[in-house]
Every structure is written in C-alpha cells, then in structure tokens.
Amino acid sequence: MTVESPIEKAIRPSVGLLGWYSVCASKLLKENELYHLSMFNEPLVIYRDKNNKPRCIKDSCPHRSASFRGGENENGEIVCPYHGGRFTTSCNQDGSDRITCKHIIDSHYDNFANHLHLRQYPCVEQGDYIYIYYTGEAQPSPNDFQIKSHLENSLPEAYGFDLKDYEYEEVFIDFKCDWSRIIENHLDILHIFWLHGNTLPGNDVNRKTIKSFNQSINKDQYHLRSVYHEKENNKEEFISQIFIPPGRVIIFKGATEQARYVQVLDHIPLSHNRARIIVRHYRKFLRNKLLCKLLLFKQRQQKVFYKIFSEDYLVLQTQTFNEQMGYLNQGQTKLLAEDKMINLFWDWHQHSLEKEHPWDIHPTTAHTNTIHQDMLMLYPPANPQLSHDIKRIIDRKVAVRLFSIILIILALIFAPDLVQQIKSGNVSMPMVGTQE
Ligand code: FES
Ligand SMILES: [Fe+2]
C-alpha cells in the first residue's frame, strides 16, 4: 500500500458533498411532467415551468405538506393532488424568482394563496443534463442562495473533452447500497478485469489479462485525477479517471485528446442505502446513426451495462453492510498501489462528512416511512424486466432486419427484371399505408 504524506493529503478538492449534482438527462425532463427524486433523504421534484425552465422544488406543499406525487404539471403550473393548490413561477422586481400559489379552493383564498411559495434549489440545464445545486436548505427563490462551487469545473469540456465529436448511449441504475461504495467501484480499475472480465466484449480486458499498473496522480481543489500506464508500455495511457466532487467520475479510454471512448458517471445520493447512477458512454462512431441503428448498437450496449451492474450489485450491497459494521476502517483493510484513488476518495469523503454533515440535515430513523425511497427504485440492476425488455426489443429488431434481407434476396432471385426496373426508376411503386 502506498502511504500518503500529510502534505499530500492537505491538497484535497475543496468542493464537498454539497454542491452541483447532475440529476437527470435533459431530454428526459419533458413538458407537463413531474420527475421525482431525493437527495440525502430529502424528497424533491424536478419539472419544466411555463417558460420551459427546469425547476427543482422540495416535494412538500406549503399548505399541509402533501407530496406532489399524483399531482399534475399543467403547462408549467404545478397542481397539488390534495386540495388543488396551483403554483406558478413569477419573477419579481426585487429579483426574487418564486413559485407562488395563484389559486386554492376558490377566490376567497386569493390573498392567502399569494403567501404560499414552493421551496426551491437552483436548477440549470447544460450539455443535455439537468443540474441542481443541493445544500439541504431549500429556499423560496434560487436567488436566495450563495453558490460557492462552480458548475463549469464539473463539465467534461473543462477537461479538454469536446462533446460535439461524440455521441452517447445512456442507462440509469438504482442501487440499494451506500452511495460512496459505487463511486469507489468506479475508481477501481482492477475489478474490471476480474469481476467483469467474462462480460466485457473484446479480448484485452479479462481475467487472463489482469495486471498491475504504473499510476500517476494529479489533484487540485476541483478534482482528483489518475492516469494508468501499462508497465510494459509506459508511454501509452491505458485509462485515466477523474473524480469531480461531489458526484461525477469521468473515465477516458486512452489519452484524453484521442480517447476511444469516454464514460461520464453521475452518482446521486438518494437516501441512506439508495443511490442512482447515470452512465453515459460517449464514442465517436456512434455519430453514424444509420450504422448504429442497423447493428442495434445502443440496445446491445445497454444490455452489457445491465449485466455489468448486476455483477457489481452483490459486492456493493455486502460491502455496504461491512462498512456499516466498521470492517472497512483503514486499520482493517490493506490497499494495493492501484487503490490510491480510492484512498484519496475516502479521505475527501470523510473530510466532507465531518465538515458538512449532509446526512444529518434530513435525518431518518428506523421508524421513518420509506414510501418515497421505495417508489424511487425504478432502475434496479437485478430487475429482470429491464434486461427482458431490452432483449425483446433486440429480438424484434433482428427479426425485422432478417425478414427484410430475405425479401431482398428472394426479389433478386425470382424477379430480377422487376428489381432492375425499380433501380432504373421505370416502375412507379404504390405508396403503402398512405391515406388521401
Ligand atoms: S396540501 Fe397542497 S393544496 Fe393542500
Ligand atoms: Fe464494476
């Protein structure tokens, strides 16, 4: 195990567990819908207001604290399911940007309604992501926040990565385990060879090729970064990982400027023992949409992701238990040289927990109703329905493609003249399925 000097440890990212989190793909947040999630046990709702601006509110109505689950988003106005309180955004002359009740029950309450405001967190849209600035204390207006960390530092572009050159596929996964165990998993290069060695396509990463690496670490107030080189070929970067607090990990395969692929992994601490990950896998060749569609590339890749995450799941759940039992203490574990990033992450995480206490802001007990948290578990990796759905889609599409190929071959064999005429444009084909 490599032991860090106290001076090295002193340089740790200054952004702690409270700050900007990517919580949702931008295109998933549709008009007239409500998207529920939670952060550090606090239930939240994200939606688009009447100006199409994303909003993040505390999921508690200011009348009698009903959740907005079962409520509506009508053209950007949010309606409480309990007594029909209707809330709309209003930018005021004093600079506040409130979401105020414009009607409840009948006109007798108009004056009362004016004093009901939803509580919000700053929420922005950038690079096809929705980000929220989470502090644990929602306010009547996003302008009430003093934003201490800057979103720009967590964007892939800040690391020389040009999104325009790449296209991506994406999956969401919900784990019942500690949030920080998942980040640790994504900073662990060696387990990819062993735990996922039989699942990954390609011959260069599997159980037979597992190896140790030379590693260089770079860190500053914004990030922790590790570059791994193969020992025999120290010039070529095998992989580089960047942890950008609080919840983003970016992994480059090969040197960052010419990476074969890039993964952006966002980790959302939903509640105790529950976390969501958004995985984006960027590649250049995905920009060829026709080829990807023909080869069903995105669906196949999603299938691989679900398999990989179900392989991680048992480890992460049992490791969470062991951590809660105190077995993951530094004194009880012996790290390898390649675990240096994990060691730095632990150091950052522990420091932030002690400084910000994010889990104590909305504490739960063994008696707390878990309804919100249970409903949020939409994408468990072990859910057979998810992989079953993808398999069904792939099977159906493969069948359509095979059928089309057979039709073309039959046409070439039995009606070559007709095919020739179609190619030369001398035959007018009837339009199938069109209506006058
Ligand atoms: S609790 Fe929402 S309108 Fe009454
Ligand atoms: Fe993994």
The domain 153-381 belongs to what CATH superfamily? Naphthalene 1,2-dioxygenase Alpha Subunit; Chain A, domain 1 (3.90.380.10)
Which of 61, 67, 101 has the most ligand 1 atoms within 8 A of CB, as the residue to mutate? 61
Q: Which ligand is nearest to the CA of 59?
A: 1
Which ligand has the shortest distance to the CA of 183? 2
Q: Does the pLDDT of residue 425 top 80, yes or no?
A: no
CB distance 281 to ligand 1 below 6 Å: no
Predicted pLDDT of residue 264: 95
64 within ligand 1 shell (Cβ under 6 A):
yes
Please report the atom of ligand 1 found closest to the CA of residue 101.
3
Taking the centre of ligand 1 as the mean of its atom positions, its distance from the CA of residue 82, in whole angstroms, is 5
Report the pLDDT value the prediction gives residue 434, as an integer from 0 to 100.
37
Q: Which of 60, 78, 82, 88 to mutate to test the pocket of ligand 1 (most atoms within 8 A of CB)?
A: 82
Is residue 80 in contact with ligand 1, taking CB distance under 6 Å? yes
Ligand 1 lined by 63 (C-beta under 6 Å): yes
Residue 385 pLDDT exceeds 70: no
Whole-number Å distance, alpha carbon 44 to ligand 1 midpoint, is 16
Determine what percent of the chain is predicted with pLDDT higher than 70.
92
Point out the least confidently predicted range of 59-73, 110-124, 305-319: 305-319
Residue 430 pLDDT: 44
Give the pLDDT confidence score for residue 243 in this predicted structure.
96
Surrounding residues of ion ligand 2, Cβ less than 5 A:
185, 312
Quick check: 88 pLDDT over 70? yes
pLDDT of residue 165: 82
Instruction: Note the ligand closest to the C-alpha atom of 313.
Output: 2
> Which protein residue has the closest C-alpha to ligand 1 atom 1?
64
| pLDDT tens column, 101-131 | 999 999 999 999 999 999 999 999 998 999 9
Whether the Cβ atoms of residue 43 and residue 67 lie closer than 8 Å to each other: yes
Give Cβ neighbours of residue 81 (< 8 Å, ≥ 6 apart).
Answer: 66, 67, 68, 69, 70, 71, 72
Q: Which part of the chain has CATH 3.90.380.10?
A: 153-381
pLDDT at residue number 382? 64
Ligand 2 centroid vs 74 CA: distance in angstroms? 41
What integer is the mean pLDDT of 32-58? Answer: 97
Residue 422 pLDDT > 70, yes or no? Answer: no
- Read off φ and ψ for residue 343, nearest 5 degrees: -60, -45
Does 148 sit in the ligand 1 pocket, CB within 6 Å?
Answer: no
Q: Closest Cα partner for 56 from 66, 65, 64, 68?
A: 68
Identify which ligand lies nearest to the alpha carbon of 189.
2
Q: Is the pLDDT of residue 29 over 90?
A: yes
Provide mean pLDDT across the span 335-340.
92
Q: Please indicate whether residue 260 or residue 4 has the higher confidence score (pLDDT).
A: 260
The string of pLDDT tens digits covering residues 162-181 is 878 888 889 999 999 999 99
Residue 348 phi, psi (nearest 5): -60, -45
Residue 419 binned pLDDT confidence (cut-offs 50, 70, 90): low
> What's the pLDDT tens digit per position in 221-257?
889 999 999 888 777 778 999 999 999 999 998 877 7
Count CA within 13 A, CB hemisphere, residue 276: 24
Task: Give pLDDT tens digits for 361-372.
Answer: 999 998 999 998
Task: Give ranges for CATH 2.102.10.10 in the chain.
Answer: 17-148
Q: Which of 128-137, 170-179, 214-223, 380-389 has the lowest mean pLDDT?
A: 380-389
Q: Which of 170-184, 318-332, 408-422 has the lowest mean pLDDT?
A: 408-422
| Residue 147: predicted pLDDT | 93
Nearest ligand (C-alpha, residue 101): 1
- CATH superfamily for domain 17-148: Rieske [2Fe-2S] iron-sulphur domain (2.102.10.10)
Ligand 1 neighbour 66 (Cβ under 6 A): yes
Q: Which whole number is the average pLDDT over 284-295?
A: 79
Distance between Cα 40 and ligand 2 center (Å): 23
Give the bridge partners for 44, in sequence order.
37, 58
Cβ–ligand 1 distance for 82 under 6 Å, the answer yes
- Per-residue confidence (pLDDT) for residue 257, from 0 to 100: 72
What confidence score (pLDDT) does residue 431 get?
43
> For 348-376, what is the mean pLDDT?
93
C-alpha of residue 68 to centroid of ligand 1, in Å: 9
